[in-house]
Chains A and B, each alone.
Chain A
Amino acid sequence: MSTSTLTRPGARAAVPSKGGDRRPRYGIYFIALLLVGVIVAPIAYIIIGGFRSNAEITQDPAGFPTQWRIENYANVLGSPVFWREVGNSTIAAVATTLLVVVLGVMAAYVLARYRFKGRNALFSVFTAGLMFPMTVAITPLYILVRSLGLMNSLAGVVIPQVGFQLSMTIIILVPFLRTIPTELEEAAFMDGCSRLGFFWRMVIPLSMPGVVTVGILAFIASWNSYMLPLFILNSESSYTLPLGVQAFASQYSVDTAKVLAFTSLSMIPALVFFSLFERRIVGGLTGAVKG
């Protein structure tokens, strides 16, 4: 500590992390470790449980496998039902993501860059969507989708999902599109670029960080969505993975190990997807949260 008196000003200025952090770090690592334990334990239980036998789980619910069995996982991976549900979830998530991004960017561009009467009202309409969550709309939504003849079809899940994702998408994208300098726009017009040409050539590339963020959020939301598919998809052949997990869990309720294997396999895609893009999400939200 005695040397710190001499080096303090310089040391502080040199500290790269925010908030003038110059305490010893052991405490942090301890808290971090504790945290990891609390968060990981349930996930680890699900994954490891899939390697155990039912007899083991009944006898000693919190134990490790005496012998790591892969047959639960092999059974799930070999079942056409699992892959059909993966396929349905993938189609729904990709379609939702593409539609949300395309429609969202177009609408956000208008809200961010055009001046017209009623623009604020339009923005308010979209932001009000945050107060219209799926829960409230689900019963009439079911009736609406049914009368459109979209029951048991992925389109019946995708289109409403797009509607519900648009609010958040537009809220995140508008600040991004606002930051594109007007001079850039003027220069582009001087060079003979049309407004729509400017949109394709400049706006889309410049808003990519925000687009990626909303795309990932839409993908994960769709991949995990439960309530809407629960109402819309009644036939097993149209089930998405979350419905599949639940159906599997009730069908094999005595076969805990198998349920655990099915459950762990179904969470892999969202986890992989998220860990690849985690930085992007935080970065993309920064613009939106500042307001």
Chain B
Amino acid sequence: MTPTNDSVVQTQVAKAESAQGGGDAVASPSPARGHARRRWALRTEIAFLAGPALLVFLTFVILPVIIAAYYGFFSWSGYGPATDFVGLRNYVVILQDEAFQAALRHNAIIVVLSLVIQGPIALGLALLLNRKMRFQSGLRVLIFAPYVISEVVVGTGWSLILASNGALNGLLDKLGLAGLQQDWLSNPSLAIWTLMAIITWKYIGFAVILFLAGLQGIPEEILEAAAIDGASYWQIQRRITLPLMGPTLRIWAFLSIIGSLQLFDLVYIVWGQYVAETAGTSTMATYMVSSGRNAGSYGYGNAVAVVIFLISLAVALLYQRFVLRRDTEGAVTGGNDN
């Protein structure tokens, strides 16, 4: 802790102490001793305030990944001590397993389709909801509703709707479109699109919330000035709103990519662990659970977790390096020093 770094706090502490009728400064005639004591008090405060959060965070978020990295080198059933060290064998098996390759491919498709489908729709919705209109508040709540409802409810509901004897096929029949009836959940060439439809329905609200927050951060004066200068609504959106929304869009894309790489709940609930594979909707995470925990091989499951983590980390670092660099002052990238 260098003196220059905490000089501001020290002046404030000094002010506070002198205001409290002397305090340390009077009690300790030596300035050096008072300085040390104030620094100690400051450290105690920081430890008291940030310590508990850091402890919980390190123990339950960071430590598990380290544990995973350790057990990933073992062939371990999950009970008793892990003794069967297998080195990188788990990783070799994972990368050669066609089921994992298929899951990885599905994750890649989900990442791309989420960005391409959700981004434009959510932006349109945010612009729509940002306009003054009747029932605006009610409409917002409705759009966010799927995002607020739990994955289990969404999954259970959609699997009933999309079942071959479910409501969607029933509706198509009623509308005289029986020819369009499909096996939405188990047809392998269709199921990934069904999954994307559910994902879009469920998560679009999050994108819209974020975009609305971004839109509200755009200063009104700029838009008014452009309008007075004769710019049309669409010109304003394209030339002013969209560029100013850049940081928000990039942060959303980042969260969406990471979320897509980690997708588990919806697939697991709608398809279950074994059906997902044959239906072509398995993800790395469902592979992790079905081939790890549920198969009684924890060592292997941990190795899969490490692979998912490394892929997410690589994608995140590349994204931060090449896309978010422009927003280094932004919220997610952190490190903005004032």
B218 proximal to A (CB < 8 A)? yes
What is the interface size of chain A, counting residues whose CB is below 8 A from a CB of the partner?
125
- Bound form: Cα–Cα A162–B55 in Å: 11
B112 proximal to A (CB < 8 A)? no
Mask of B288-322 contacts with A, CB within 8 angstroms, 1/0: 11001100001001100110110011001000000
A62 lies within 8 A of B171 (CB): yes
A282 lies within 8 A of B42 (CB): no
A192 lies within 8 A of B45 (CB): no
A55 proximal to B (CB < 8 A)? no
| CB pairs A–B below 8 angstroms (29 shown) | A13-B227, A18-B130, A20-B232, A29-B133, A31-B128, A40-B142, A42-B158, A45-B157, A62-B167, A62-B174, A107-B50, A110-B45, A115-B7, A116-B5, A120-B334, A120-B335, A125-B54, A125-B58, A127-B333, A130-B255, A160-B61, A192-B20, A199-B49, A243-B152, A245-B153, A267-B149, A285-B213, A286-B214, A291-B331
A140 proximal to B (CB < 8 A)? yes
Least Cβ distance of A286 to chain B in Å?
5
B53 lies within 8 A of A135 (CB): no
B161 lies within 8 A of A45 (CB): yes
Contacts of A270 in B (CB 8 A): 148-150
Q: Which of B148, B213, B292 contacts A271 (CB 8 A)?
A: B148
Least Cβ distance of A196 to chain B in Å?
7
B151 lies within 8 A of A226 (CB): yes
Interface stretch, picked from B9-17, B88-96, B98-106, is B9-17
Interface stretch, picked from B24-32, B185-193, B258-266, is B258-266
Interface of A (DSSP majority class): helix
- Bound form: Cα–Cα A288–B217 in Å: 10
B182 proximal to A (CB < 8 A)? no
Least Cβ distance of A51 to chain B in Å?
14
**CB-CB under 8 A for A136 and B312, given A35-B125, A291-B330:** yes
Contacts of B301 in A (CB 8 A): 139
A231 lies within 8 A of B293 (CB): yes
Least Cβ distance of B229 to chain A in Å?
10
A189 lies within 8 A of B233 (CB): no
**CB-CB under 8 A for A223 and B150, given A39-B142, A106-B49, A246-B269:** yes
A144 lies within 8 A of B60 (CB): yes
B327 lies within 8 A of A291 (CB): yes
From 88 to 134 in chain A, residues with beta carbon under 8 angstroms from any chain B beta carbon are 99, 103-104, 106-107, 109-111, 114-117, 120, 122-127, 129-134
Number of chain B interface residues as a range: 35 or more
Known pairs A42-B161, A193-B16; list 19 more (Cβ under 8 Å).
Answer: A13-B227, A13-B228, A17-B131, A19-B233, A28-B131, A42-B146, A62-B167, A107-B49, A116-B5, A123-B335, A127-B333, A135-B288, A138-B305, A143-B67, A144-B64, A224-B152, A263-B153, A270-B149, A282-B140
**CB-CB under 8 A for A186 and B12, given A226-B150, A286-B217:** yes
Mask of A246-289 contacts with B, CB within 8 angstroms, 1/0: 10010000001001100100110011011100110111011011
From 214 to 246 in chain B, residues with beta carbon under 8 angstroms from any chain A beta carbon are 214-218, 220, 223-224, 226-228, 231-233, 236-237, 241
Least Cβ distance of A32 to chain B in Å?
6
- Bound form: Cα–Cα A124–B151 in Å: 30
**CB-CB under 8 A for A195 and B5, given A18-B215, A227-B265:** no
Q: Which of A139, A143, A225, A260 contacts B288 (CB 8 A)?
A: A139
**Residue in B57, B201, B251 with the greatest tally of chain A CB atoms within 10 Å:** B57
B332 lies within 8 A of A271 (CB): no
**CB-CB under 8 A for A135 and B247, given A17-B131, A245-B152:** no
Contacts of A135 in B (CB 8 A): 262, 264, 285, 288, 305, 308
A86 proximal to B (CB < 8 A)? no
B332 lies within 8 A of A130 (CB): yes
- Bound form: Cα–Cα A194–B262 in Å: 45
B52 lies within 8 A of A189 (CB): no
Q: Which of B158, B209, B223, B305 contacts A285 (CB 8 A)?
A: B209
A215 proximal to B (CB < 8 A)? no
- Bound form: Cα–Cα A100–B282 in Å: 33
Residue of A nearest to B292 (CB): A139
From 58 to 109 in chain A, residues with beta carbon under 8 angstroms from any chain B beta carbon are 58, 60-63, 99, 103-104, 106-107, 109
**CB-CB under 8 A for A278 and B262, given A23-B233, A130-B332:** no
Q: Which of B16, B45, B57, B68 contacts A163 (CB 8 A)?
A: B57
Least Cβ distance of B196 to chain A in Å?
14
**Residue in B5, B213, B214, B241 with the greatest tally of chain A CB atoms within 10 Å:** B213
Residue of B nearest to A25 (CB): B133
**CB-CB under 8 A for A20 and B231, given A107-B53, A163-B61, A278-B137:** yes
Q: Which of A106, A193, A243, A286 contacts B213 (CB 8 A)?
A: A286
**CB-CB under 8 A for A43 and B61, given A106-B52, A136-B312, A282-B212:** no
A171 proximal to B (CB < 8 A)? yes
B15 lies within 8 A of A189 (CB): yes
Least Cβ distance of A40 to chain B in Å?
6
**CB-CB under 8 A for A186 and B67, given A39-B142, A61-B165:** no
Least Cβ distance of B238 to chain A in Å?
11
Mask of A140-163 contacts with B, CB within 8 angstroms, 1/0: 111110000000000000011011
B256 proximal to A (CB < 8 A)? no
**CB-CB under 8 A for A289 and B251, given A20-B233, A159-B60, A278-B140:** yes
Residue of B nearest to A135 (CB): B262
